[in-house]
Each structure stands twice: as structure tokens, then as C-alpha cells.
Structure 1
């Protein structure tokens, strides 16, 4: 009895001592614990999302992949799976599991190692939000105290939601909704039971149990959780058997974008990084761009189709690489199949062109292995028969006579499926291109494509490729000439020019395309037909410095250009975006606008923190009235009582081009389409389009820039390596078809928008040979537009287009 009494007293004293120790630790640690009330307003690191103007997601950027969900949107089946895995008593306990905790603490004290179990979801919330992962008794005690405090401050649904959205789940995924998108490419609401159980098993060992890095370990953990769900009555035997028999189907997925617009999204990311630094990546900012979803899709389709069409004209370059059968076991086709699948997994889809490996070659077809592991067939007539080999940019080999002349087993090729389901031989074009389309009234970028495929090359040719514009630059020279006193009827001799200029490396002998000379030529016809020698002589008469002073109005930087006569042929470099911005001035009536991409930025709660206010064309606006100046100080009470000011009007775009000169240049650029190098655009059956082709020596670059009053679009085609495009690959051949396909969609259901005749413009009949006013009844006379003070005199014997008539006399003679 004495022994029992002694042991009882010892136990009581030890218990009291433990209580005093725990009380002392609590009193010591409690003041140092963080305030759990901050969990109510916790700001999770949420990636930046980039949208089109209509709200389609086109980009997501952040160090952590996270997509928070509120509790009421979390599927019940997943809740049951997670509780079965981590804390089946979550909705019953008060933050700690005493039995599990005693076991874990005793193991930690006795062995110094982390024990199994013991941490409830609430304790894990405390750890994830407030504590480090250090495995010590002190941290565990803090975890317990915080868990108890969390349970007093928050309800179970709030605690579960905090855990659901914060826990790390491998592959940079934080939170289960993000993990569902990373591993399965779907929302967690769309997953089945087996996938829910797989995700629920990841927190125990994120690097080992996730279905990509550790599919076998993940599957074992998944099946254990399914067994627990069966044991706890969440599922029945049939559901258990069906789910546990399912294979692991996960693979890496990116953000679930509405559609791909990677070049535009990357531009937005770079601009946000400049504005906000690294904080842009984790504060949940929502960036709404000026991109029009419909037009962006049309732009991407037009550019891809145009580059593929060019590529087909120049022949088939062969497979991307050759993958022989597995050399370690050549008699085992399954081994080859697995190695081929790994190669296909590592090869991205580019612009809708899927990688495939030739598995068999027949007499009139080839069998292919696709990226998803399925098989398909390419028939002889679906690209094989047309696969003439590429020789040079100017020549192709003879047509193949059988599939084996084109492909062999193990070739990694590109394939594309048509609308009927048939597969065709394809290849990723080596040539590149860009398309930029703007709203000319404010510079908003409505579509932008910087290359054949962002997956293949992240270099954005729309904004980064500095290329010579060639004749695309001529409208700005001719505009400067018209403002400098020339007229559309002024004659310039189209004759050989020899220029001695040290900046042009000695003697320079430019030529027209085709090498012909046409004698005295009116400026309208010279620009319509893109005559090089007329342009050079025009710049000689205008003056290089006068042109450089003038082109700054269009957004060009004159300091970057060499002051010589080659400017007349567009030898300076520009980006497609710069050129589109310059053509916007021609399209909008002569106003300067700045291209821009970001329309507004919202914070995580949807509050607008930035709204673009671009300078905007307002043709019918009266002069803006300045607001009255504030001449007295206001008290704080007066400031608070002030009504919310009405939204200020957008700033006015500055006029930088004479309205009448703009009208005349527009009429000439319309002639480029009706009579000149842009005639293919007549396929659009519109009368309000103007534009200009551009081709540089080689030819290295092919351009087309064109517009109506609502939209301006520039297209460029060329090689990144500055190699020639090939004979007959001009602006009107390689770039214009892309522009036409896009503009057909951009102007769909849009009426013709003829330009009104501005005040001070007269339309009179002239002699086309002299550029002077035609005599009454003169045969062969044509109409021309003039500024009223620049109308030429009547023609006569030996006269040419130099005389200017007094306007009053002209009107009296005409009427």
C-alpha cells in the first residue's frame, strides 16, 4: 500500500509540475504569438492574370501558381477525401487531436525525430501561415497554442478554406485548385473520385507523392485514402473498386487560358514588371488589355496561314530529326514506342502543328505515332505527293514518286488534322512574320502576333525586330513633299540617278524594280507604282534634313537615321509596331496617337488602380475649355463635402499633318490598291481601303501596311537570319495575303467609310502628261485633288506642271 500511495503522490506531483511547466511556457509564449485575426484579411500570393478587353484570360504570371476558391465552391467529395487523409475528426475537435498529439510529442521528446500524425488541419494552418518548418518541441507548442486560438476566432469553414488555398502541392502549385489545373488541366470541381484522392494525398510529401514526379508513390497514397474513405463511410465498395483501379493520368499543364495570345500577354507582363517590379507577380493584379479576342484569333490564323503558304511554295525541308529504334533492344518495339513517346512529350505543338513520329511507310501512306500515344495515317495525297524537296530559296526538287522518297521510320515530323479528321504532312515554316493592328483613333492595339509560334520562339518580331521598311516608308516622304509645296501632279523625272555619298560607300546607282525608266512622272503615279528613282529625286529636291524634321511627327526617331538619300527607299529600320503607329496618323486624318496595350489594372478585389487615358482623335470637337484655376485653399471639411468630380474627358490627340495633305495622300494610297502594287486587296470589295507594299533588296523583307478609318494593320514577312525570301516574294506576294485574310475579318459587317472632302480641297481636270490644268474639252484629261492654293495653271505649248493659278481665277474659269 505504501508503494501505491508513493506512486500516486509522485504522479500527482509530476502532473502538477507538468501543469506548472506548461502554464509557464504558455505565459512565456502567448505574448509573442501572432494575432490570428490577421487570417481574416490574409493576402495570399496570387499570380497576375492578363485578359483581353472582353475578359478572356490570355496569360498568367507568378512565382506561385494559385487559384483561391471559397469554401462553398469546394466539392464535398474532395472535402471528404482530404479529411480522410489528414484529419477525419476536423469538424469535431477544437483544434488539436489529443491522442495523436500525445503520440507525436512523446516520439519527438524521446527520439528527437518528428513522429507520425498529431497535426490537425488547424495546426497545419497555424504552421503554414505563421511558423517555420523547424521540427522542435517549441515550434510544436506554438502550433498548438495558435491552433486553439484559431479555433476560437474562426469557424471550421474558414479554417478549411485557408488550408485548401495555401498548402504547397508540388510543381509550384499552392492550393488544391491550382494543383488540379497543374496536374489535370481542369478545375477541382471537374475531377473524379480517384483524382480527388490523388490530390488529397500530396500534402504528406509534395515532391514524392505528386502524380508527375512520383506516380507510383502517389498511387499508393491515393489507394490508401480511398480505403480510409470506404472505412469512414464516405464511399461504397463499388466506388472504391472503380477508383482504385484507375491509372494515373496526370501530366503537366499550364494556366487554363481562354486562347493563346502569348506575344501580347508577354508584352503586358513586361510592362507590369516595369510599373510594379516583382510585386506584380504575387498581388493578384488583373490586367485588362486592349486586345480584341475575335481579331486576335483572326490575326493569328492569318499570319500562320500566310507563313505556311509561303513555306509550301519553297518545298519540303525534311523531318525535324531522325529517331532510330532503341539501340539497346532493337527487337523490342515497345521499347522504341516508349522512347518515341518521350521524344514527342518533349516536343511542343507549334501553331497547331503537332509532332508525330513515322512508325511505318507503305506504298501510298505512312503510319504515324501522335503525341497522345494514339496512331494515325497520312495518305499519299495529303501532303506527301506535294513534298517537293527544298533546294534553295529559288528552287525545289522534283515531285516525289512514293512515300519512301519523303519519309522513313523514326522520322519526327509535323502533322495537322483537317476538319474531316484526315491527317496531313506539315512542317513548321523557317520564315517568320508579324502582324499588328491598331485602332487609329487612339492607338489601342487590338491584335498583335510576333511570330509563327511563341512555343518555338519567344522573340517578338512585332516589337523587337528592327527591319528596313522599304517602300512602306514612301508615303511619309510624299506627305512631306506635299506639305513642302509639291502637288500630286508635280512631275519628277524617272531617270537614272548616280549619287556620290561617303555615307553610301561611294557611288550609288539605285534602280526601279525591273530596271526600267519612265521619264517625267506625276507624284501620284510614282507612289502608286512605287517608283524608286522618282522618290530619290523628290528627296533631293525636298532636302534630307527637311524630311528628317518632318517624320518625327509620325513617331519615328530621326536621330537614329543616317541623313542620306537612301531614306527615300526606306533603308532605315523600324519595328512593325512603329510602322503601324505611323500609318495610324495617315488613317485617322492626321493626328498623333501612341500605341498602347494595357487598358486598365484591377487589384485582387476588383478595384481599378489604373485606367488608360490615351490621346484620342476628336474630329468634331470644339476647342477644349480649360478648367478654372483654384485660387483659394479649402478646409478638410470642404474637401470631404465636395461631390465626386465627373470623369474628365480624354486628352485630345494633336494634329500633326495638314488635313488636306492627309486627304490627298489617302487618295493616292487608295490608288495603290485599285491600280498599283496592292491590287490583290480588291478581293475585299471595298472602296475605303488604302495601303502600301514594301520590299527590300534580296528580297529580305516583305511588308504591307493598310487601313480604313476604323483599323490600321501592318504585316511583315522575313527570315530572322536576314536571308533572302526568294524571287517573286514581294510585299504584294508574301505579306499582302496575310493582311487581306485578317482585314476580311476585321472589317466584317462594317460599311464602307468614304472620307469626306475637307475644306480647302478642289478636284479639277488636269493634263496627265504635264500635270497642268486641262484645257476645256481636252481629250485624255484626268481628275486630281489639290489644296486650293496649289492648283496649277492651264497647260499650253511647252509647259509642265510648275505654274500655280490664283484660286479666285480658277473658280471663275471653272464655273
Structure 2
């Protein structure tokens, strides 16, 4: 060896040594930098089981479940050996030979970064996955990866391999809220993991990589590919023989959901309750087993959802068919698996199933469903009446053939109808077949149950199904219904379908209520001394106000003017000019001061005369709270949703303490509400709000996981709701709002054949917003219809045509079987005969009107009596008053 060669080798040796030293120093520096922030591995030894947050209706129907679900941890001794081999084949075949970090895997990941410029895979071992799942986030950052490597080395030093694998088997997320393989075995197969076969173990082992992509319920095709790849890996690694491999790859996919169904589809309610629980308990709400009992009535909630969806679909059908949702390349029809995957990615909305047209035949469509079935849509099932949408005000001519609108590859919506024989009532059942309608969960009969333990099914008559063409509405809506005695939310639907949009229009959408707001202005007038017989001139008026920035010429929607008009008639006929002149006479500030009593925030109310026509942006919940005062005799209540919260042991740790109406108060100390609970003396609005807030909140640190139980019952009375208006004003307004139903813009509600309902329509310019808010003493309910984009609804759409039918549909169900109830006539109310033309008292003829005793109108003079027009028959006048516009 020459000196030159020796020197070169020596130099190379020192360079390698220096590089190794530099690498060691760099690694040590990183370790010293990151070590103080690393968690203790000892915490892994104390695994605490987690129970999800559950949300119930007041009648204990499950409507929501949030958080992790790890109820069945198992030990390595309980874990089948072949399943462990399936997991190792899928995730980390060298698990028992490395020290927590796979150099080969990391080099492969680094190579992918150099080739693509981005992170493709993390090269993670099972130990690294345990570190990430217990302590770290899933974000793809280099600092997180260094922490993961250091933690893995630390875990391998402190725990043995079986302990690490046991943690992995019990912790990993596997879709459908299942954490851990034992829980997942029950979710997907309804059995313990020890009872599954090789094909099922391989299917389960494929879930950790991508629980949604390789989910055998949501994506059976992709899950099958992943399962068979794992079986091939097991064969290559010598874990299974050729016969086991052949038998397993041909096994069918048998996974289906076996978890607990939601009892009711009320996602907007569930989401509101979830937020309140998180406000109370922080992130522990998802893991500590709290049960939230809401004020929602399951019967009313179902009726509300059906009424809103039906109402929006009815509105939508009046405006024509917009065509297929998508148009696929017809060549895609040849790939059945891809077609099924595509359909399964399209959510079912409002019970309307997505389907693909595979053939257009004379008088029918042939379509494929997402469950691979091919069905037909007959001409008489929605095609015969189909008219194309042209604009919100125009439709095209009816189709003469299906080919005019449809072609193979079109994605359309269908409604499934179950047709019963012998004239029995047909039932729409598409929603029942929709796994997302119950939170992505479909409960099926257990095929593994002992036949001797199963009930013998009753033999039912043969039924057949029909598939009708449908369309997901673009218009949106909202419905909220309150118990007027304490503000409890009995039903709430924030849109057509939660999967379409999580935006809750009941609580988040500020829209102009139009004439829905007029009753609050009229109540202010009656409180200030006006009467139902006061005469207001329904005549043109022009304003040149600087805060309106222009000349304003308000009109009635009919374009007609009635001249001198009684206040009662001005409201039930919804005369805009009457409302504006009335507000002008009251004074804007006086009116706003009074309207605040109903719970409206003054900062949200515009300060000009347009407020008389509902120009302020309000939510349906705010409007419903205001109408609750008309329903309960004049009291202000606060809407609330959560009645009670139970801990994991079923102990009550929170109870709402709502402001409550005392309907039958007589003597102090002997007052009670309708449920017999004592009620305190009336208090000011400010004091009532302070007391309720104090009772419903706690300053105790949330980490203690304890909250005071609000004292409700014999020991301490509920706080009494303060008055928003006097009993006399409430009684008079109730009478006028009933006339809206009897002879005004709400006449469609006469179909309910109830005498205790009242309310008011509302329509804004465009029209863009359609409202109906109304009540009986049992419930106060507001409905709204409009577009999120604030687009126009159509020239013939009003509160009475778009929103009122939804209200009628819901309230007909909600009030079914309940007796009529009417507000009791308070002292100080009298009934006298008046001339409807003048509003003055008269001795004969005319009509009867109710007044506050201290606000009686004057008598007609003798000369006017001799020459007057008595106005008899005025209440039977048939002049048509179209629903109002804003301005």
C-alpha cells in the first residue's frame, strides 16, 4: 500500500468519523431540545376508557352521539394470533425485530420526498403509530416526525412488544366511531373479534390505513381490494397457506353496521346541544359519558322535519324541474363498481335517493341505484307533469317524451314509495333506507341470534315499491316551535337537510320578517292608548328622510288604498300604510322602547319608519320568542334547549331554571304553574334575567367536572317570567291575530278547524322572504322560507303560499288531540257596539269590538247617528288583500 493510498484511506476514515460524530451531535441536540416537551410513557399504563356524549329528546329518544367509543379493550391473550399476523402484514411486518423505528421505512419515505417534493408516507412502525395516536397530532410536519421517533424509542425502552401491540389494538381509530379492534368487530360484524374468520380479520386489518376509504360499509369495493392485498401479504410472509388464501379472497364482504341506531333524525338539535355541552365541560364532554336531555318532543320534531321538507319540495315543484344534478360520460356506465362508488359518495338528502339513468325508454326511465339494483321510473310517476324550470317566474311546457330531458349517464333523485294493497295508505320509505338519516347507522336484524329467541314475524300483505322522480330543493327554510309558558324548544329544524348544509337558519340566519313584525308595533300602540277600533288612514304618503337616503313612497301590495281603516282591519288585512302611519304617530323611539320587552335587541332594529314593515334582520328563533308572548298572555320567556345533564353514573349535575309563566296566579305564596310548581312574585325583566343567568351558570373551575343542580321544585320556586305587555293588550292582540286566520292573510289555516290559533304572515320585497308565525296557547311556532343567496322566490310566492302551509302541516300534527284553549278575559276588558266606519260607540247596528275599560271610544253624535252609514256587513267584505310586501 503506497503512502498516498494510506493517506486517502486515513482521510476517509476521519471524514466518516467526523460525519458520524456530527450526526450524533445533531441527533443529541435535537433530543435535548425536544426531550423536555415529551410526555411520560408511564401515562400509557393508565388507559382510561372513554364514553361518548349522548343527546336525547325529553322522552329519551337518542338524537345525537359525539366522541370516542372504546368500550371493549382486550388483552393480547384474548387477541387471536392469526388476527395479529394480519395486522402485522398490513402495517409492520418487522415489528418484533426493530427497536421502534424502521430505518428502511424512513429511507423509503425520504426517497419519496426527494422524488415528489412532498410527504407521501411517513414510514411509521406500529410503535410510532402508538406514539402518534396517544400523544401527537396527525399533521405531516418534520418536527412532529422527530417527536414521534423519539417517543417510539422511549416507548420501546419502557414497554415490551406485546404491551405496545396491545395499546395499538385498543386505541386505533377504525371508522364509525369505533376505537380499537374489539369495538370495531362489534360495529362491523356484531361479534367478538375471536369469533371472526380469516377474511374478516384481514378486512379489519385494512381499516387503520384509511378508515373512510377502506370502510367495508361505505366503500365495499375498495375495502375488498385492500383485504385481498393483505391476504396476499400474509401468504408471501408465510403466515397462511395457499388453501387459506384461495378460500379467503373469494369470501364475500359480510360487514354491515351493528351499532346503536339514532332513534330520531334531529341533527340541528344535536349540534346545538353538543355546543352547549362543550361550553359547560370543554373537551371532556366528548369522553366522560355525559347525557344531555333536551326539551325537544320527538313526535313534534319528526312532524317539524317532515313539514319543512314537504313544504320546500312543494314550493320547488311549483317552479319547474332544473334537470339532472350531473351528466356522466355514458362510457362510465360500463364500470359498475365505479358507478356504485360514485353514487355512494352522493349523500341522500331529504330521503331522496341518488340514481343514474342507464336507459331512456318510451314512457319510462331505467335507472341504477347505489345498491346496484336497476329499477324503472314510470311516466306517471313524475314524468308526466314535468315542466322545465326557466326562471323563478316561468316554466316551460310539459314534456312529451322522456328523451327531451334525460339521457343515459344523468344523475337524478328518486323518492321511494311503498304501495300497500287493498287501498291501504301508501308510505314514503326512502328515509328508512338511508344510512345517513340515522347518523350513518342502519340497524339490521342479527343473523347470528338463536332462532329460538327470535319472535315469529307476523305475515303482512305483499307490498310493492314505486320510484318517483324528485328534486332536491334549492330554497331553504326553518321552523322552530316553543312552549310559550317557559320558552322550551319543542321542535327545531334549521334547513332542508343537515347533510346539505350545517348552517342553522333558526339561530344563525338574520332575515327581514316583513309584516311578521307588525303585531309588535300594534301592541305598542294599544298599550299607549290606541284601540282595535282606532281609525288610521290607509292612503298614499311620501317621505323625504335623510336616514332613508331617498324619497320613499310605500305602497300596499295590492296597489289599492282603503282610506280610513280600523286598526284591527289594518293588521288582519296587513295594510302597509296603516302600519307606517301608526308608527309615525307613536314615535319610533317609543315603539322601539316597547318592542324591547319582547326580547328583541335594540341594536338589531333599524331606527326609521321601515321597521313597521319588518325591515330589521331577525332570526326565526327571535321572532318565535316574541310570538310566545301573544300565546301565553303577555309574558316574556327565554328560549332554551338543554333541560338536564346527567353524568356517566346517571346523576343529575345540571338542570335548567327557565323563566316560567304563571297563568293562574291569585294569592302571593299560593301561586303555581300548570304543573303545580310554585312560582315567585313577579320581578323586573333585568332581575329575572340576572337570576336565570346565575342559576344556569357556575364560576367553579370546569376541570372539577361538577356543576350545581339548579334548584327547581318544592324547595325553591322557578323564577316568574316578567310581563312583555299587559294582560289587556295581550287579550286584544290575540283577538286581532285570530282574525288574520278567520278573514285575513292566513285564511288557509281555517282548514285546521280550530278556534284557538292565531298568527301573522310576512313577505318582503322581491319577494325574498316568506314567513308565518303563529300560535295556540299550547305552542308558538315560526316558519321561514327563502334562499340563502337572498334570491327572489317568485312573484306569486308570499308568506301565505310558501311558509303558512308548512306551519299548518306541523301544527295540525302538534295540536292533534289537544283541547282548544283560549286566553282568559282579564278584568278591565269590555265589549261594546261600534260603527265600523268611524270606530265610535253606537246604540244599534254596527258590530261589536273589545276595549280596555279605560280606553273606550266616544259615542256618535245624534246627527251622525241619523245620517251615518252603519257599515253593517263590513266584516263580510270580500275585497281581496294580497299578502304584503316590505316597501
Give the TM interval when normalised to the shorter protein.
0.7 to 0.9
1:326 maps onto 2:342 in alignment: no
Partner of 1:267: 272
Give the secondary structure class of the aligned counterpart of 2:585. Answer: helix
Q: Which piece of structure 1 moves more, 362-371 or 252-261?
A: 252-261
Distance (whole Å) between structure 2 residues aligned to residue 535 and residue 190 of structure 1:
75
Partner of 1:95: none
1:215 maps onto 2:224 in alignment: yes
Distance (whole Å) between structure 2 residues aligned to residue 204 and residue 43 of structure 1:
21
Give the secondary structure class of the aligned counterpart of 1:763. Answer: strand
> So what's the TM-score if we normalise by structure 1?
0.76
Shift in alpha-carbon separation, 1:214–1:277, aligned structure 2, 3 A:
same
Deviation at 1:82, TM superposition (A): 3.7
Shift in alpha-carbon separation, 1:135–1:563, aligned structure 2, 3 A:
closer
1:750 maps onto 2:818 in alignment: yes
Distance (whole Å) between structure 2 residues aligned to residue 286 and residue 245 of structure 1:
44
Distance (whole Å) between structure 1 residues aligned to residue 299 and residue 713 of structure 2:
35
Partner of 1:338: 337
Aligned match for 2:287, one of 267, 282, 305: 282
CA contact (8 A) 1:166 1:175 kept: yes
After superposition, where does 1:81-480 map in structure 2 within 5 Å? 82=80, 85-86=83-84, 139-140=155-156, 142-144=158-160, 166-169=171-174, 173-176=178-181, 178-180=183-185, 197-198=201-202, 201=205, 211=216, 214-219=223-228, 245-248=250-253, 250=255, 256-326=261-331, 334-335=334-335, 337-420=336-419, 421-480=465-524
For residues 390-444 of structure 1, the C-alpha deviation after alignment (integer angstroms, 9 at most, x for no partner) is 1111111111101111211111111111122111111111111111111111111
Deviation at 1:569, TM superposition (A): 0.8
Distance (whole Å) between structure 2 residues aligned to residue 461 and residue 408 of structure 1:
36
Give the secondary structure class of the aligned counterpart of 2:371. Answer: coil
Deviation at 1:164, TM superposition (A): 7.3
CA contact (8 A) 2:181 2:193 kept: no
Partner of 2:777: 709
1:795 maps onto 2:800 in alignment: no
CA contact (8 A) 2:85 2:234 kept: no
Deviation at 1:544, TM superposition (A): 0.8
Give the secondary structure class of the aligned counterpart of 1:728. Answer: coil
CA contact (8 A) 2:79 2:193 kept: no
Shift in alpha-carbon separation, 1:188–1:557, aligned structure 2, 3 A:
farther
Partner of 1:604: 648
For residues 578-624 of structure 1, the C-alpha deviation after alignment (integer angstroms, 9 at most, x for no partner) is 10011111111111111111222223333332211111112224443
Distance (whole Å) between structure 2 residues aligned to residue 600 and residue 507 of structure 1:
54
Aligned match for 2:48, one of 38, 43, 54: 43
CA contact (8 A) 2:517 2:613 kept: yes
After superposition, where does 1:481-500 map in structure 2 within 5 Å? 481-500=525-544
Q: Which piece of structure 1 moves more, 688-697 or 254-263?
A: 254-263
Deviation at 1:675, TM superposition (A): 1.1
Aligned match for 2:805, one of 737, 754, 763: 737
CA contact (8 A) 2:101 2:152 kept: no
After superposition, where does 1:645-724 map in structure 2 within 5 Å? 647-724=715-792
Shift in alpha-carbon separation, 1:281–1:415, aligned structure 2, 3 A:
same
Distance (whole Å) between structure 1 residues aligned to residue 100 and residue 772 of structure 2:
77
Partner of 2:571: 527
Shift in alpha-carbon separation, 1:109–1:500, aligned structure 2, 3 A:
closer
Deviation at 1:214, TM superposition (A): 5.0
Count of residue correspondences: 697
1:66 maps onto 2:69 in alignment: yes
Deviation at 1:486, TM superposition (A): 0.4
1:783 maps onto 2:848 in alignment: yes
Give the secondary structure class of the aligned counterpart of 1:725. Answer: coil
1:55 maps onto 2:60 in alignment: yes
Distance (whole Å) between structure 2 residues aligned to residue 164 and residue 599 of structure 1:
38
CA contact (8 A) 1:355 1:412 kept: yes
Give the secondary structure class of the aligned counterpart of 2:492. Answer: strand
Shift in alpha-carbon separation, 1:603–1:763, aligned structure 2, 3 A:
same
Partner of 2:457: none
Partner of 2:695: none
Shift in alpha-carbon separation, 1:506–1:243, aligned structure 2, 3 A:
same
Distance (whole Å) between structure 1 residues aligned to residue 330 and residue 645 of structure 2:
53
Give the secondary structure class of the aligned counterpart of 2:559. Answer: coil
CA contact (8 A) 1:181 1:255 kept: no
Q: Which piece of structure 1 moves more, 339-348 or 723-732?
A: 339-348
Q: Which piece of structure 1 moves more, 206-215 or 782-791?
A: 206-215
CA contact (8 A) 1:84 1:225 kept: no
Partner of 2:617: 573
Distance (whole Å) between structure 2 residues aligned to residue 458 and residue 515 of structure 1:
40
CA contact (8 A) 1:50 1:268 kept: yes
Q: Which runs of 5+ in 2 are unaligned?
A: 1-38, 87-93, 106-125, 137-147, 420-464, 669-679, 683-710, 866-887
Distance (whole Å) between structure 2 residues aligned to residue 400 and residue 710 of structure 1:
47
Give the secondary structure class of the aligned counterpart of 2:833. Answer: strand
CA contact (8 A) 1:180 1:199 kept: no
Give the secondary structure class of the aligned counterpart of 2:418. Answer: coil
Partner of 2:868: none
Give the secondary structure class of the aligned counterpart of 1:705. Answer: strand
Distance (whole Å) between structure 2 residues aligned to residue 243 and residue 34 of structure 1:
39
Shift in alpha-carbon separation, 1:747–1:104, aligned structure 2, 3 A:
closer
Give the secondary structure class of the aligned counterpart of 1:419. Answer: strand
Distance (whole Å) between structure 2 residues aligned to residue 112 and residue 302 of structure 1:
61
Distance (whole Å) between structure 1 residues aligned to residue 862 and residue 182 of structure 2:
85
For residues 206-238 of structure 1, the C-alpha deviation after alignment (integer angstroms, 9 at most, x for no partner) is 879875665334356679999xxx99xxxxx9x
1:766 maps onto 2:828 in alignment: no
Distance (whole Å) between structure 1 residues aligned to residue 392 and residue 103 of structure 2:
72
Give the secondary structure class of the aligned counterpart of 1:497. Answer: coil
Give the secondary structure class of the aligned counterpart of 1:655. Answer: coil
Shift in alpha-carbon separation, 1:191–1:345, aligned structure 2, 3 A:
farther
Distance (whole Å) between structure 1 residues aligned to residue 412 and residue 802 of structure 2:
25
Distance (whole Å) between structure 1 residues aligned to residue 801 and residue 156 of structure 2:
73
CA contact (8 A) 2:72 2:183 kept: no
Give the secondary structure class of the aligned counterpart of 2:629. Answer: helix
Shift in alpha-carbon separation, 1:756–1:127, aligned structure 2, 3 A:
closer
Distance (whole Å) between structure 1 residues aligned to residue 191 and residue 849 of structure 2:
64
CA contact (8 A) 1:678 1:736 kept: yes
Deviation at 1:50, TM superposition (A): 2.1
Deviation at 1:571, TM superposition (A): 1.1
Shift in alpha-carbon separation, 1:346–1:436, aligned structure 2, 3 A:
same
